[in-house]
Structure 1
Amino acid sequence: MASPSSYQAEEDESLKGCELYVQKHGVQQVLKDCIVHLCISKPDRPMKFLREHFEKLEKEENRQILTQQKSDSHDEEVSPTPPNPVVKARRRRGGVSAEVYTEEDAVSYVRKVIPKDYKTMTALAKAISKNVLFAHLDDNERRHP
């Protein structure tokens, strides 16, 4: 029977192999693109849409391989294009922060209260009561926003 540490090492090795395979073939980006297309289209039959999407990708890949083979046989000087060009994912936007407040600023902070008429207050109260983000407020907090 294999020891737990050797089993863990085998599992880690297998996982690394899977990650390399997925990275080599650009599977993660293909799946992300597929999900984006699915969410944009929102078809009634998502499985059919996915099947057709992957069939289209396969035909495109076969066409690229065929043109690559033709160009290789005709002209050896032209560098072949990769069958699955890696599309760079857009980088996420970095965080935006405000100025840094000191403890002294926090203690001396004076809350600015803008007086509102009855009509405005009832409209605000109605909007707050329907919004899930304000559901945790008690009655006192709702009256004095």
Structure 2
Amino acid sequence: MATSSSPNLEEDESLKGCEVFVQKHNIQQILKECIVNLCIAKPERPMKFLREHFEKLEKEESQQILARQKSNSQSDSHDDEVSPPLPNPVVKARRRRGGVSAEVYTEEDAVSYVRKVIPKDYKTMTALAKAISKNVLFAHLDDNER
């Protein structure tokens, strides 16, 4: 069981890293604005429009970086003028649910979860096995998982 939880932990860490990256660089808002602009303009060549849009954003970003560097070099010479640091975006931790209407559970709950096995008689087991064998959703299960 430890081998199956290890990839899940790595996947969770990778997902958290992606979420932090998206938050840090404001990717979601940028893409939202891009799609809105695309829908408003409705260009004949959407890829060209998107490329030009992102090139424009890149130029604006580089101008902002240059302006910040310029102001930093000026503030180094003027110790009296101190600019306030830019506020960092608040990263909200996602809380997981077992299902759509299930209650939220934590990682500790997931690690300590004990699967409930309900004993079944032979007739019920054969009926379930027959139904599962015909269902595409359960085709990948091995004998222990069925």
TM-score by length of 1: 0.53
Task: List, as ranges, runs of 4+ consecutive aligned residues in structure 1 with deviation greater than 3 Å.
Answer: none
Q: What is the DSSP-based 3-state SS (H/G/I as helix, E as strand, rest coil) of the residue aligned with 1:3?
A: helix
Counterparts of residues 68-87 of structure 1 (less than 5 Å)? 68-76=68-76, 77-79=81-83
Q: What is the DSSP-based 3-state SS (H/G/I as helix, E as strand, rest coil) of the residue aligned with 2:61?
A: helix
Deviations 1:84-137 (A, max 9, x none): x98xxxxxxxxxxxxxxxxxxxxxxxxxxxxxxxxxxxxxxxxxxxxxxxxxxx
In structure 2, distance between residues paired with 1:41 and 1:57:
17
Aligned length: 83
Query: Which of structures 1 and 2 has the larger relative contact order (alpha carbons within 8 angstroms, sep 6+)?
Result: 1
Counterparts of residues 71-110 of structure 1 (less than 5 Å)? 71-76=71-76, 77-79=81-83
CA RMSD of aligned residues (A): 2.2
Which residue in 2 is equivalent to 1:33? 33
Identity %: 69
TM-score by length of 2: 0.52
The runs of 5 or more residues in structure 1 that have no matched partner are 87-145
The runs of 5 or more residues in structure 2 that have no matched partner are 90-146
Find the structure with the greater CA-based Rg: 1
Deviations 1:52-86 (A, max 9, x none): 0000000000000001111111124242785xx98
